[in-house]
Amino acid sequence: MGKRILVVGGVAGGAGAAVKARRTSEDAEIVIFERTPYVSWANCGLPYYIGGIIQRREELFIVNPGRLASRFNIDVRTRHEVTAIDRSRKTISVRNLETGDTRDERYEALILATGTEPARLPIPGLDSPRVFTLVSVEDADRLQSFLEEHRPANAAVIGGGFIGLETVEALLERGIAVTLVEMMDHLLPPVDREMAEPLAIHLRDKGVRVLLGEKVAGITENGTTRKLQLKLASGNTVACDFVISAVGVAPRLDLARQAGLSIGQAGGVVVNDRMQTSDPDIYAAGDICEIRHLVTGKPVRVPLAGPANKQARVAGANAAGGNMRYAGSLGTMIVKVCDLTIAKTGLSEREASFEGIPHYVSYTHSQHHAGYYPGARMMTVKLVVDRFTGRVLGAQIVGGAGVDKRIDVIATAIHARMTVEDLEDLDLAYAPPYSSAKDPVNIAGSVAANIHRGEVDAIGPDELEALLKREEIQLVDVRTPAERNKTGEIPGARLMPIDQLRELAGELDPHKKTVVYCAVGYRSYLAYKILKQRGFDDVSHLAGGFDAWKMFHGKPQRT
């Protein structure tokens, strides 16, 4: 008989590790203990089930105990909770939740994949039966039953992260009015503020009441109407029929702590690249682990399905006698928000600043395929670049279509430690229905490479705002009068359309600080070149143009 491998937890981490262990060793005895009735389900699909996009509940279940037993010879014990680990005896204590019986189980290798649970804020009233979370199948069942029975008209969602945003869309699909409350000053906190601004605008256009910088202080219920009221720290209130708390998730670390395993500064179980914990006979995978960030090299927690699946394969293989390695993660993420998609990989600008990495950023606005082919949608690409080497450190993209393809290309480039000049040169597929001759990734690389090579001096919207506050400059708008009248302008700008700039440049002082801007950055780049070659000492162009400025400043001033 081979090794006895016990797995604590199902879903991506546990079930994936068990299956990989079987593929590695046909002789191993493999047992999964899962506290819920389900061994593996698509928790990422729960909001789409609530919204009716996924119509059959059964479609959420990836594999059942019968399939794991028949195809992989894995013993699955659902409704069994592991309560303790005895490392000296190499046993775990297991409680049968159906009968209440407890017994010890021996292991030679143990894999922990206990996952996460909804984070709970210290908010009075959060235990109301009309307050829901959406992390497990049981959560979805409870919410679905409530929606079908009570047919509520309006809801409040607390938290503007992934689960919160996906839940807002799900409720809109059901015709429910939604108020979204986020304590940060922007939605989707992992991305930079200006890149998230289009999400708030889009949701408001969809009828969502979006409250940013608001903290929930308490929840009360009207005993007569059963209406809930959210009391906000600002003094404002939100009335609704029910609440969904989507303030994030916390790793289930009780077992790891009880066993005395090392917990790191990032708040997860410490593992090496073989997914071994501080006890070499105990492995861990998924959301409870802290792993290496591929840009900074520092330990981070990345509670996402992609990394969890990869870690599970490594843990399962090595527990069964294999020798696989897990390099780490970039934290690549993507979320659909009604008709928009936003994605991130690597470091945000805020994270690069926190790490003390000298960097610069670039903004580009491109259509996701050839503009003359019907259906082209705009996307904004933000690159974060190492100031000295030109290495791509991170990217964020928001747009209507094609975002997934581009973020994956850039994630691959970051994994390979490519520079912006490499992005500029990438040979990417082109046909009018799919891209342009210069793909948005190539364009982003070219613009960032121009900055890296010193071909242009670019200034970001936030830098321009600070500059305008501290000194008087020549701010030149090189768009057309029609564009300015339609979309607004940056206060204090002089209008000099690019096609007339050569004639009008004499009206400017060549020795005064000058910043030029257009809609997206191309014409201002041309203007920069014109002025530079006419002897202007100190000229910059606005990275990303007026469109990037609007992402920082919301509604523009109109003439």
> 480 is written with which tokens?
């057309």
Residue 50 is encoded by which pair of tokens?
């609530």
The DSSP secondary-structure symbol of 438 reads S
Longest dimension (CA), the chain: 89
Q: Are 238 and 156 in contact (CB under 8 A)?
A: yes
C-alpha span between 488 and 546 (Å, rounded): 9
- C-alpha 540/C-alpha 152 separation (Å) is 54
Task: Kindly list the catalytic residues.
Answer: 44
CA–CA gap between residue 385 and residue 421 (Å, rounded) = 11
Q: Burial level of 431, CB count in 10 A (0-12/13-18/19+)?
A: exposed
Q: How far is CA 443 from CA 257, 519, 551, in A?
A: 49, 16, 20
Could you give the CA distance from residue 227 to residue 478 in angstroms, rounded to a whole number?
A: 54
Rounded Cα distance, 344 and 352, in Å: 14
Which residues does 261 contact at the CB level (< 8 Å), separation at least 6? 269, 270, 277, 278, 279, 282, 284
How many Å apart are CA 104 and CA 86, to the nearest integer?
9
Alpha-carbon distances, residue 84 vs 175, 184, 268 (angstroms): 46, 38, 18
